[in-house]
């Protein structure tokens, strides 16, 4: 595959990961550019397209996290992140959504990240396991523990 084909094939995926982490288009553009810069700055060979895709996912996640660290700010949980959740749970009151947001802020990062990726961003456990370089079973157990801890914090 040539450079143009690679960018065309994976740009939506890389940009999607970036926007999910940094939460705004300008910063996501920076992360996107960084990922493809890392990719093209030296010649790479991959055993398969799946290997190339997994590498790009991992680098995208790392680049987004690096960007957030450099920016010296955690990803804040904003009210607008819960708009999609609200459509899925239309019987949930605004106050309950605020409690949920506050509860998520109190969770350990490992649980909060998995819950956000799963419920707010819509990734499945297999996709999350690739992004975070954890086994799928670990992701499932952390998702379960995270939900339990969130329930405890909210109650």
Q: How confident is the model at residue 153 (pLDDT cuts 50, 70, 90)?
A: confident
> Among residues of the chain, what percentage have pLDDT more than 90?
37
Q: Same domain, yes or no, for 107 and 62?
A: no
Residue 57, pLDDT > 80, answer yes
pLDDT at position 91 is 59
Q: Write the burial class of residue 138 (CB in 10 Å: 0-12 exposed, 13-18 middle, 19+ buried).
A: middle
Give mean pLDDT, residues 39-61: 91
Domain holding 122: CATH number?
Answer: 1.10.10.10
Q: How confident is the model at residue 141 (pLDDT cuts 50, 70, 90)?
A: very high
Residue 33, pLDDT > 60, answer yes
CB under 8 Å to 79, separation ≥6 — which residues? 97, 98, 101
Q: Write the burial class of residue 38 (CB in 10 Å: 0-12 exposed, 13-18 middle, 19+ buried).
A: middle
* pLDDT one-digit tens code per residue, 91-135: 556 777 777 778 888 888 888 888 887 877 677 888 888 778 889
> Among residues of the chain, what percentage have pLDDT more than 70?
83
pLDDT at position 85 is 45
Q: 0.85 cut: is pTM over it?
A: no
Mean of pLDDT over the chain: 81
Domain carrying residue 85: 79-154
Q: Same domain, yes or no, for 40 and 85?
A: no
Q: Same domain, yes or no, for 24 and 88?
A: no
Q: Same domain, yes or no, for 109 and 52?
A: no
């Amino acid at each position: 595959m040539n450079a143009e084909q690679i960018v065309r094939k994976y740009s939506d995926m890389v940009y999607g990961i970036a926007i999910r982490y940094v939460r705004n288009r300008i910063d996501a553009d920076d992360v996107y550019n960084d990922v493809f810069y890392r990719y093209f700055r030296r010649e790479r060979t991959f055993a398969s397209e799946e290997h190339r895709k997994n590498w790009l996912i991992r680098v995208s996640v790392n680049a987004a996290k690096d960007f957030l660290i450099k920016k010296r700010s955690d990803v804040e949980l904003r009210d607008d992140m819960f708009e999609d959740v609200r459509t899925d749970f239309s019987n949930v009151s605004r106050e309950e959504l605020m409690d949920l947001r506050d509860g998520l802020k109190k969770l350990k990062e490992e649980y909060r990240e998995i819950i956000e990726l799963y419920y707010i961003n819509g990734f499945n456990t297999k996709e999350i396991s690739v992004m975070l370089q954890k086994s799928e079973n670990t992701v499932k157990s952390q998702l379960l523990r995270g939900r339990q801890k969130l329930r405890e914090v909210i109650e």
